[in-house]
A = this chain, B = another copy of it.
Amino acid sequence: MADAARTLLLEGDDVPGVLSRVAAVFAAHDANISSIQTLASGSGRAMMTIEVGAGADLGVLVRDLSALPLVHRVALEPSLLSIYGKRVIIIGGGAQVGQVAVGAISEADRHNIRGERISVDTIPLVGEQALAAAVHAVARLPRAKILVLAGAIMGGEIAEAVRDIRRQGLLVISLNMVGSVREAADLVVTDPLQAGVMAVMAIADTAKFDIARQRGKTY
């Protein structure tokens, strides 16, 4: 589990240049920013959350950020990693995505009760281009660790996208379906509930499942 409070919530004036001044404070302390999210603002105010990298002195950052004339309030919040944890992503057809989700949510429940944080995120989609774009973009989703492809037929650009995100360190499970994604995935699982359960086990610290030992197999 990551540090529970490595996120700063800033409220300030909604004018250009706020982010630039904020980033300069981090740069002055050699502190890393892992993400910045600008939140809905109103009445001339802007809010942003900043996830701070490991090793930074939060006390010093809060002090110097609070001293900026454009910043009105700085608060510490728990990080999204500590709240929602690692993410299983499920992409494909509605029928199969729903059943993989049931398996994954049930298994995530068992691990979260033992102190982990694993969430299960899904999108039902149709069409090779839309699916390939969604698979590619999993590499840009914060905290995503494993993808389950839940469809009846997937190949071509989707298989290419699977190889691309595996090179970037993501794990991929495919249902047993028509097309070339089966060969591109780490593991093929026929039953959708089982695929969801195995996806959670593969990324859970409290499970003994090692997907590296199952690579290329079909269940």
Contacts and interface: CB of A to CB of B under 8 A. Distances in A.
Given A19-B26, A32-B16, A35-B38, A108 B124 contact: yes
Contacts of A80: 137, 140-141
Contact of A37 (B35, B78, B94, B119): B35
A176 interface: no
Interface string A19-61: 1101110110011111111111000000001000000000000
B109 A93 contact: yes
A35 to B, nearest CB: 5
A97 interface: yes
Nearest to A84: B123
A27 B35 contact: no
5 A-B pairs with least C-beta separation? A94-B109, A109-B124, A119-B123, A121-B121, A20-B23
21 contacts: A16-B27, A16-B32, A17-B27, A19-B27, A20-B23, A20-B26, A35-B36, A37-B140, A39-B139, A39-B140, A49-B140, A83-B133, A84-B123, A94-B105, A94-B109, A101-B102, A101-B120, A105-B124, A109-B124, A112-B123, A112-B125
Interface of A: 16-17, 19-20, 22-24, 26-27, 30-40, 49, 77-78, 80, 83-85, 93-95, 97-99, 101-102, 105-106, 108-110, 112-113, 117-126, 133-134, 137, 139-142, 168-169
